[in-house]
Structure 1
Amino acid sequence: MPIDAAKALAAEPRSREITWDHKDVQLYHLGIGAGRPATDPDELRYTLESRLHVLPSFATVAGSGAPGVISGLSMPGIEADLARVLHGGQSLTLHRPIPAAGTATATGRIAAVYDKVKAAVLVLRTEVADTDGPLWTSDAQIFVRGEGGWGGDRGPSGTLEPPTGEPDRTVERAVREDQALLYRLSGDWNPLHADPEFAKLAGFDRPILHGLCTYGITLKAVVDTLLDGDVTRVRGYTTRFAGVVYPGETLRIRMWRQPGAVRVAVSACRERGTDGTPVLTDTPVLTDTIVEHT
């Protein structure tokens, strides 16, 4: 079979040096919709180098997307048609705040291979550290259609209990028509997000938004809405990509406060005010404390 689970799991980790500076951070923030309105002091924290702070989800693209889907497909034992690959989920653990510029070592390996019968799921783990110690750990779940059925470990199948009651906050974020084209400049060059013909081969009417773009938009909404704009309060962030977002749609982001976390559910709406398709589920943002707002 194209995916050799034993070979993938036994392969030596791959390490490489990654670097980033304020321009990379600013481009990423613009790619997830920061800077609207352009002169808003709260937005200038994401766009102006003299007061820049780094949204933790920048880790998913630092050094040109070290934990990305395409890099996982180059690991030993992995062969897959890119048109049959989707990013199934993402988790991120922050060990320290991410600096606006840095040099670090990113070490990646296949941490797990799961047999879902009709698909395989690869867990690509990337650990990043600089001279001061660990910075972050990232797990990307890569879903490969048509590559299951070899009788391997099915892996975890449970999902989180959905939040109960009305959300504490609900916000909407418009996705620009060119959002995917801007976001991909941070390093995810998968043609699924730009080439209409390739998107059709993958089964979509037109190019779709990167799941990690939705991931970043959502975290920014949580930080801005419930964490007083303080990115250093984020300790971890996990999601499962449950649906697709098309550029031009609106994201409805619902948030529930919990001890040490914010639970989030995200839907994509063709028009504001309409019911949307769930796109992020099982999504806790781990924090230190939650500030009560009136």
Structure 2
Amino acid sequence: MPIDAAKALAAEPRSAEITWDHKDIQLYHLGLGAGANPDLPNPATDPDELRYTLESRLHVLPSFATVAGAGMGMMGGLAAPGIDVNLAAVLHGGQRVELHRPIPVKGRAATTAKVAAVYDKGKAAVIVLRSEAADDEGPLWTSDAQIFVRGEGGFGGERGPSTRPETPDRPFDRVVERPVRADQALLYRLSGDWNPLHADPEFAKLAGFDRPILHGLCTYGMTLKAVVDTVLGGDVSRVRAYATRFAGVVFPGETLRVGMWESEGRVRVAVTAVERQDAPVLVDTVVELD
């Protein structure tokens, strides 16, 4: 059934209430590989990692917004009127989170999810699913997921924006490597993404992969953690927004190479898979800073 863009855009937002506490934050951080610093000899525990794992020192990576409430914002958007698509044809094409203030370690928030835009790319459609969260003190975050739906284009809609962040014409200012544990997808999925693509080898083969793949949003979170740790000295409050485009898959057991270009008010990032000749993983990636 074709996408009815007008109906989807006119639909009332879906609302829900979500809660979280330190255990949800710690589980999410552990799913990103927090707890051990790969830059230290042996699998030593870095005291700085306690800001991700110890409840008395905890801060919250802004990318937690993508899993808060088990990621119900994205699922609510896909259930909007006018959106009747085959989930097997759905790919997560990009993600942006804007922070209105730091996320508290314990919280209760009202969320709304809606279709913010529908673009016609010819052979595919791109649906922008927007979820917003606010608590008693005001807005917390706005999260936009760009969902690529194969075979659903050609309905005569707008193609959407085509501008992309400029890539600096110079070597990286910083490069770090972050290993992906062999069991990392199994741990990360406990934060709410239960897609068997990330756990079941047989299901992965049906999807065209020889083994389960890592969640794209896990790579997204690992990358932000690398930027926060190396450029921002661990200060998550400086992150104002974080956007990326997913360009390739990551397999558990591989190594991410995270290259960073620093400039006034932002860090541009490129992420590749080391073991596959630096195959691109995240592109058009920008961390905007306060």
TM-based fold match above 0.5: yes
The corresponding residue for 2:280 is 278
Tell me how far apart the structure 2 counterparts of residues 67 and 189 of structure 1 sit (CA, whole Å). 15
The 10-residue stretch of structure 1 (188-197 or 40-49) with the greater mean CA deviation from structure 2: 188-197
Q: What is the Cα deviation at residue 189 of structure 1?
A: 1.4
SS in 2 for 1:189: coil
Tell me how far apart the structure 2 counterparts of residues 196 and 79 of structure 1 sit (CA, whole Å). 28
The corresponding residue for 2:55 is 49
The corresponding residue for 1:292 is none
The corresponding residue for 1:219 is 224
What CA RMSD, in Å, does the superposition of the two structures yield over aligned residues? 1.3
The corresponding residue for 2:3 is 3
Change (3 A) 1:209 1:170: same
Tell me how far apart the structure 2 counterparts of residues 71 and 129 of structure 1 sit (CA, whole Å). 17
The corresponding residue for 1:67 is 73
1:195 aligns with 2:200: yes
For 1:141, which of 146, 152, 155 is the aligned residue?
146
Instruction: Write the deviation string for residues 76-102 of structure 1: whole angstroms up to 9, x where unpaired.
Output: 211222221111000011000000000
Give the aligned residue type for 2:19: T
Instruction: Write the deviation string for residues 46-105 of structure 1: whole angstroms up to 9, x where unpaired.
Output: 00001101011011111111333x443222211222221111000011000000000000
Tell me how far apart the structure 1 counterparts of residues 13 and 78 of structure 2 sit (CA, whole Å). 14
| Equivalent residues, number | 284
1:259 aligns with 2:251: no
SS in 2 for 1:138: strand
Give the aligned residue type for 1:40: D
Tell me how far apart the structure 1 counterparts of residues 2 and 207 of structure 2 sit (CA, whole Å). 19
Query: TM-score normalized by structure 1?
Result: 0.93
> Superposed, which structure 2 residues align to 1:136-175 within 5 Å?
136-175=141-180
Tell me how far apart the structure 2 counterparts of residues 212 and 91 of structure 1 sit (CA, whole Å). 11
The corresponding residue for 1:28 is 28
SS in 2 for 1:209: coil
Identity rate, percent:
75
Instruction: Write the deviation string for residues 16-50 of structure 1: whole angstroms up to 9, x where unpaired.
Output: 10000000000000001101156311111100001
Does the 8 A contact of 1:84 with 1:202 survive in 2? no
For 2:92, which of 87, 100, 109 is the aligned residue?
87
Change (3 A) 1:102 1:173: same
For 1:239, which of 244, 249, 270 is the aligned residue?
244
Give the aligned residue type for 1:156: P
Tell me how far apart the structure 1 counterparts of residues 147 and 196 of structure 2 sit (CA, whole Å). 16
Tell me how far apart the structure 2 counterparts of residues 219 and 67 of structure 1 sit (CA, whole Å). 21
The corresponding residue for 2:13 is 13
> Superposed, which structure 2 residues align to 1:71-150 within 5 Å?
71-150=76-155
Tell me how far apart the structure 2 counterparts of residues 206 and 187 of structure 1 sit (CA, whole Å). 21
Does the 8 A contact of 1:4 with 1:78 survive in 2? yes
SS in 2 for 1:42: helix
Tell me how far apart the structure 2 counterparts of residues 284 and 121 of structure 1 sit (CA, whole Å). 20
Tell me how far apart the structure 2 counterparts of residues 10 and 200 of structure 1 sit (CA, whole Å). 38
Tell me how far apart the structure 1 counterparts of residues 155 and 201 of structure 2 sit (CA, whole Å). 33
Any runs of at least 4 consecutive aligned residues in structure 1 with deviations exceeding 6 A, and if so which? none
Does the 8 A contact of 2:76 with 2:113 survive in 1? no
SS in 2 for 1:143: strand
In structure 1, runs of 5+ residues without a counterpart are 289-294
Instruction: Write the deviation string for residues 256-287 of structure 1: whole angstroms up to 9, x where unpaired.
Output: 111100000000122xxx73111111111011
Give the aligned residue type for 2:3: I
Give the aligned residue type for 1:53: H
In structure 2, runs of 5+ residues without a counterpart are 38-43
Give the aligned residue type for 2:98: T
The corresponding residue for 1:183 is 188
Change (3 A) 1:201 1:75: farther
Tell me how far apart the structure 2 counterparts of residues 205 and 118 of structure 1 sit (CA, whole Å). 26
The 10-residue stretch of structure 1 (239-248 or 149-158) with the greater mean CA deviation from structure 2: 149-158
Tell me how far apart the structure 1 counterparts of residues 17 and 73 of structure 2 sit (CA, whole Å). 13
